[in-house]
Amino acid sequence: MTAYIIRRLLATIPVMIVVALFVFFLLHLTPGDPAAVIAGDDATPTEIEGVRRKLGLDRPVWEQFGIYVWGLLNGDLGTSIFSNLPVTTLVAQRLEPSLVLALSTLLVAVVFAIPMGVVAAWKARTAVDRIVMGFSVIGFAVPVFLVGYLLIYVFAIELRWLPVQGYRPLSQGIDQTARSIVLPAFALGMVYMALIARITRASMLEVLSEDYIRTAHAKGVATRSVLLRHALKNAAVPIVTVIGIGLALLISGVVITETVFNIPGLGRLTVDAILKRDYPIIQGLIILFAGVKVMVNLMIDISYTFFDPRIRY
Amino acid sequence: MTALATATAAPAAAPASSDTILSVRDLRTQFFTRDGVVRAVDGVSFDLKRGETLCIVGESGCGKSVTALSILRLIPRGAGRIVGGSIKFEGTELTTLPEDQMRKIRGNRISMIFQEPMTSLNPVLTVGAQIAESLHIHQGLDRRAAWDRAVEMLSIVRIADPKRRAGEYPHQLSGGMRQRVMIAIALACNPKVLIADEPTTALDVTIQAQILNLMLELKERLGTAIVLITHDLGVVAETAQRVIVMYAGRKAEEASVEELFRNPIHPYTRGLMGSIPRRTATGRRSNIRGRLQEISGIVPSLREEIPGCAFAPRCSYAVDRCRTEQPPLDPHGPYHLAACWEAARVAATPR
Amino acid sequence: MATTTDVAAPVAARRRTGALAWIRRNPTITIGAAILAALVVSAFLAPWLADDPLSFEPINRLKRPSEQFWFGTDQFGRDVYSRVIYGTRISLAVGISVAVFATAVGLAVGVLCGYYKRADAIVMRIMDGLMAIPSILLAIALITLMKASLFIVIVAISIPEIPRVVRLVRSVVLTVRGQPYIEAAIASGTRGLTIMVRHILPNTIAPLIVQATYVCASAILTEAGLSFLGAGTPPEIPSWGNVISLGRTFFQIAPWIIFFPGVLLAITVLAINLVGDGLRDTLDPRIARRM
């Protein structure tokens, strides 16, 4: 097991090198003068020159790359062109809302989607199943911002149950945070729920036709226990896999959701960076998110051993 | 042969006596497919007495497994259901019993062992947990007690080092050991009836005898009645007191094991016997050449209503009447039933 | 045969209802295709169906949906209905271009990887790296570095889709390559290129078509998302994402600016997904089981 984890960690090195190479050379391979594009249309030659120096574009490419990678290895994700603050500092400032949003979404999606998928599989080909599948197909097509604005319109503007926009940090009390995160979590969770419900249903359907499920029934095990204790654990591996895949959707979705709900998180950092063409911030966020994704994949793979004793590394 | 003379003495169409633990009457189970209705079990009746072993034999697809699943009401919902007849267990009608009552019978009073030990155990639960689960559900044992009893059951089914094995997962056990675990699960709550659906078919020949002997020995010890479903007449001869031969969802013949082997009446039964290899030189004709005799033709489709005898298309004795009228189960001796219009002619023909 | 007439009648009836029967058996693909057809038609007929999406009349700012303005007007007094109809063109163009571009590149790279072991190791590492980057961020990075244009948006959305296509094609190629008839062709001296074109490419078509529909749907969503964030199609082009993006500031008083393009976007993606699911089930039952 330990050997496996070490091997997997080593395997992430080439992936991260490719990511670093990509974000670095993107700046150099793009047609035209990136310094001019980043400085904007109205920039004076001096301003363009300033941007060029800040990005280190005046030095030889390999020297730049060396400095960049050395910085990464020391935990330096780069420095913002406009605020002159390290990207790590900016990320740290904006981390809490995004983390809270991502985890609440994960929670909401799993808590709703897995029971939905289980029930759909149990009641396969009935009205309940069709409703769940219909929800899953539609949930997959509806864009995050439409769900977000609809939820705001209904629950915040019409019913006035929840705040329209904004985020309350955990330091102001968890109940305030919860109230501010409910709608964003459901909006972002929709696609995720659709995905997990669909896979849960498919995986459960397969498991429910297995011989050992018949054995469980023959033992007099109650339906609830057959579904949860005997079937769900066997159906878990594909479900966990899709939760991992869905995390990629989540990262992209966080950026949009934070914009809809005006949440000052990493998504807002990204949007501000887009508006100011602050490339180092986007560069740093890509490295950060890619790293998170690689680690999540590793954790998912390790979690398989917990669900299926036949999997050994 | 272990068959007992008492079984032979039973009257042919005996009403359910106090000795009868399970009584099946005119059971009909049908499956509903896109291509039509499949009459998997089409009017089967039999009684099971306390502590006896009853064998149901027939080719695959003759409805013997469906009969077994029907008794425990394990026919997959949506695919098929019991459409008629009655199943009485210790006087309780099972076909109409509410599901929660039925659950208290399954695995407790009536247990079942399946054909595939490789796939019939849950791969993600330890075998100990799977045995303990029955005890927890039906006997209300707490975790600790259920586990201890599960370990005990493993030693009863003669698994070496039961303490360690209880904590293992099915994939760590051999096929024979898994079937022993299945037996342990089935017998954990001292059931009155054990239904074993081809329990040894998937196992190595050397293991088959061990598992059968284990089942019979435990049956004696616990006084459990067994319904043994098999296609193997060798198994029947070694284990059963009474035999039912099924064909195309119907009962073709029923007799004590000695009677059936001495004097098979139904042409299908005779065909089955012709298709088992004999060890002795007493076999005639086909066996002289040492070859298995096959029954020509195929099992009929159960999708169409069969007006006459289902075996008629494959039967060398068949006359016009066989194809139009369904033969009744007529007595042929003290305890011997057979459904054949031409029984007299068949009986007169030497095998 | 004496009963010919009796038998012939139902056969003819069956043939007549053949199309109907097919529709009944494949309701999802039919509904999806019908919606898509309607969208394509309205995209083509936009100049006849709608007014100029760019003309603005400040007197008609933020008007509710009415007989005159079916979907209301935005803060500049532009007709949301006209903008949404013209937006159909942008969304479909982006979706189809990305699907074609990503599939073509993915196919070429995937076949190469499946066929030449040496290229495989390097290219797959690059693909792993690309897949680790969240697609929307990758597109944003490209767009920040270049002047915004529809072409750049299409390229930026395509790049993150390519690794998925490559993986799919590669797995098909590897499976097919292991088949005895390919071994036989190699053994009998057939050239590598011939084997690829004759035997391997045809096997990739069915899964690729299915994949392309999903890429198309996801590209339409990503374009809208990027435009919504202000990192997509240049703001003067009336894409659905741009319309929604502009409606953001006013959504409390003029929710229709967001609602109508949003719903149309959802319907479009839904229709494409339905067609994709239908194609998957009919073209390739193997994938169907895997999904």
The closest CB to that of C229, out of A18, A274, A277, belongs to: A274
pLDDT at B293: 59
pLDDT digits (tens, 9 = 90+) for A57-80: 777 778 888 888 888 888 888 888
Q: Tell me if A16 and C132 make a contact (CB, 8 A cut-off).
A: yes
What distance in Å separates the CA atoms of residue B62 and residue B38, rounded to the nearest whole number?
12
Chain A interface includes C275 (CB < 8 A): no
pLDDT at C277: 85
pLDDT at A46: 82
* A-contacting chains (≥3 CB pairs under 8 Å): B, C
What distance in Å separates the CA atoms of residue B295 and residue C175, rounded to the nearest whole number?
42
Classify residue A31 by burial, with Cβ atoms within 10 Å: 0-12, 13-18, 19+: exposed
Q: Are residues A115 and A188 in the same domain?
A: yes
Q: Tell me if A252 and C136 make a contact (CB, 8 A cut-off).
A: yes
Q: Are residues A38 and A172 in the same domain?
A: no
Q: Are residues A163 and A295 in the same domain?
A: yes
pLDDT at C96: 94
To test the contact with chain C by mutation, choose from A87, A237, A255 the residue with the greatest count of C C-beta atoms within 10 A, namely: A255
Q: What is the DSSP-derived secondary structure letter of residue B130?
A: H
Give me the mean pLDDT over the B325-341 stretch: 88
Q: Are residues A137 and A190 in the same domain?
A: yes
A 10 A CB-CB count for A159 gives 9
Alpha carbon distance, N-terminus to C-terminus of chain B: 21
Quote the percentage of chain B above a pLDDT of 70. 89
To test the contact with chain A by mutation, choose from C145, C222, C265 the residue with the greatest count of A C-beta atoms within 10 A, namely: C145
A229: closest CA of chain B, how far (Å): 9
In a domain, A29, yes or no: yes
Q: Are residues A253 and A104 in the same domain?
A: yes
In a domain, A163, yes or no: yes
Chain B interface includes A233 (CB < 8 A): yes
Q: Tell me if A143 and C263 make a contact (CB, 8 A cut-off).
A: no
Of A73, A101, A119, the residue at which a domain comes to its end is A73
Which residues of A are less than 8 Å from B116 in CB distance? 211
A-chain residue closest to B186, CA distance: A219
The closest CB to that of C134, out of A248, A275, A283, belongs to: A248
Long-range contacts of A2-7 (CB under 8 A, 24+ apart): A3/A313, A4/A313, A5/A298, A5/A302, A5/A313
**3 state SS of B61:** coil
Give me the mean pLDDT over the B72-85 stretch: 88
Whether the predicted pLDDT of B340 surpasses 70:
yes
Report which of A52, A162, A171 is spatially closest to residue A100, judged by C-alpha positions: A171
Give me the mean pLDDT over the B316-344 stretch: 87
Q: What CATH number does the domain containing A181 carry?
A: 1.10.3720.10
Of A26, A42, A73, the residue at which a domain comes to its end is A73
C239: closest CA of chain A, how far (Å): 15
Report which of C240, C214, C215, C220 is spatially closest to residue C228, judged by C-alpha positions: C240
Q: Are residues A255 and A299 in the same domain?
A: yes
B-chain residue closest to A232, CA distance: B124
Which residues of C are less than 8 Å from A143 in CB distance? 221, 224-225, 262, 265-266, 269
Report the relative pairing of strands B36-49 and B336-338 from DSSP bridges: unpaired
Chain A interface includes C125 (CB < 8 A): yes
Can chain C be said to touch chain B, i.e. do they have 3 or more Cβ pairs within 8 angstroms?
no
C251: closest CA of chain A, how far (Å): 8
Q: Which residue has the tokens 């499976």?
A: C175
Whether the predicted pLDDT of C265 surpasses 50:
yes
A292: closest CA of chain C, how far (Å): 9
Average pLDDT, chain B: 84
Q: Are residues A21 and A115 in the same domain?
A: no
B67: closest CA of chain A, how far (Å): 14
pLDDT digits (tens, 9 = 90+) for C191-245: 777 877 777 788 888 888 888 999 999 999 999 999 888 888 887 888 888 888 8
Q: What CATH number does the domain containing C39 carry?
A: 1.10.3720.10
Whether the predicted pLDDT of B36 surpasses 90:
no
Q: Tell me if A145 and C262 make a contact (CB, 8 A cut-off).
A: yes
pLDDT at C17: 63
In a domain, A293, yes or no: yes
Phi, psi torsion values for C81, nearest 5 degrees: -55, -50
Q: For residue A41, which amino acid is it? A: D
| Choice among A165-169, B281-285, C165-169 with the minimum mean pLDDT | B281-285
Q: What share of chain C is helix, strand, coil (3-state, %, to 5)?
A: 80, 0, 20
- Of C233 and B338, more confident: B338
> Tell me, what's the ipTM?
0.85
B-chain residue closest to A306, CA distance: B124
A-chain residue closest to C125, CA distance: A15
Q: Please tell me the total count of domains within chain C.
A: 1
What distance in Å separates the CA atoms of residue B181 and residue B160, rounded to the nearest whole number?
12
What distance in Å separates the CA atoms of residue C136 and residue A253, rounded to the nearest whole number?
9
pLDDT digits (tens, 9 = 90+) for A275-295: 888 888 988 999 998 888 888
The closest CB to that of A212, out of B106, B121, B134, belongs to: B121
Which residues of A are less than 8 Å from C244 in CB distance? 145
Across the A/C interface, how many CB contacts are shorter than 8 Å?
Answer: 152
pLDDT digits (tens, 9 = 90+) for B26-35: 999 999 887 7
In a domain, A239, yes or no: yes
Q: Which domain holds residue C109?
A: 4-290
Q: Tell me if A211 and B122 make a contact (CB, 8 A cut-off).
A: no
Which A residues in the span 249-308 are in contact with B, Cβ-Cβ below 8 Å?
Answer: 307-308
What distance in Å separates the CA atoms of residue A201 and residue C96, rounded to the nearest whole number?
31
In a domain, A80, yes or no: no
Q: pLDDT-based confidence at B131, cuts 50/70/90?
A: very high
Q: Are residues A242 and A109 in the same domain?
A: yes
The closest CB to that of A275, out of C146, C230, C244, belongs to: C230
Q: Which domain holds residue A29?
A: 2-73
pLDDT at A231: 94
Q: Are residues A62 and A141 in the same domain?
A: no
Q: Tell me if A212 and B138 make a contact (CB, 8 A cut-off).
A: no
* C-contacting chains (≥3 CB pairs under 8 Å): A
B302: closest CA of chain A, how far (Å): 23
Which residues of A are less than 8 Å from B133 in CB distance? 219, 221
pLDDT digits (tens, 9 = 90+) for C110-157: 888 877 778 888 888 888 888 888 888 888 888 878 777 889 889 989
**3 state SS of B108:** coil
C273: closest CA of chain A, how far (Å): 8
A 10 A CB-CB count for B56 gives 28
Q: Are residues A119 and A209 in the same domain?
A: yes
A-chain residue closest to C232, CA distance: A274
Q: Please tell me the total count of domains within chain A.
A: 2
Q: Tell me if C266 and A141 make a contact (CB, 8 A cut-off).
A: yes
**Residue B314 CB contacts under 8 Å (≥ 6 apart), including other chains:** B268, B271, B295, B296, B297, B298
Of A42, A73, A104, the residue at which a domain comes to its end is A73
C148: closest CA of chain A, how far (Å): 10
Q: Tell me if A218 and B103 make a contact (CB, 8 A cut-off).
A: no
In a domain, A233, yes or no: yes
What distance in Å separates the CA atoms of residue C50 and residue C89, rounded to the nearest whole number?
12
The closest CB to that of B121, out of A215, A221, A308, belongs to: A215
**3 state SS of A182:** helix
Q: pLDDT-based confidence at B14, cuts 50/70/90?
A: very low
Residues of chain A with pLDDT under 70: 30-32, 248
Q: Tell me if B120 and A214 make a contact (CB, 8 A cut-off).
A: yes
A-chain residue closest to B71, CA distance: A218
**3 state SS of A34:** helix
Q: Tell me if A230 and B122 make a contact (CB, 8 A cut-off).
A: yes
To test the contact with chain A by mutation, choose from B102, B122, B198 the residue with the greatest count of A C-beta atoms within 10 A, namely: B122
Which residues of A are less than 8 Å from C29 in CB distance? none
Chain B interface includes A311 (CB < 8 A): no
pLDDT digits (tens, 9 = 90+) for C14-57: 455 677 777 777 788 888 888 889 888 888 887 777 677 666 77
Residue B66 exposure: Cα atoms within 13 Å on the Cβ side: 29
pLDDT digits (tens, 9 = 90+) for B170-226: 999 998 899 999 999 999 999 999 999 988 888 888 888 888 888 888 888 888 999
Q: Are residues A261 and A218 in the same domain?
A: yes
pTM summary value: 0.84
What distance in Å separates the CA atoms of residue A146 and residue C263, rounded to the nearest whole number?
7
Q: Are residues A49 and A142 in the same domain?
A: no
What distance in Å separates the CA atoms of residue C110 and residue C114, rounded to the nearest whole number?
6
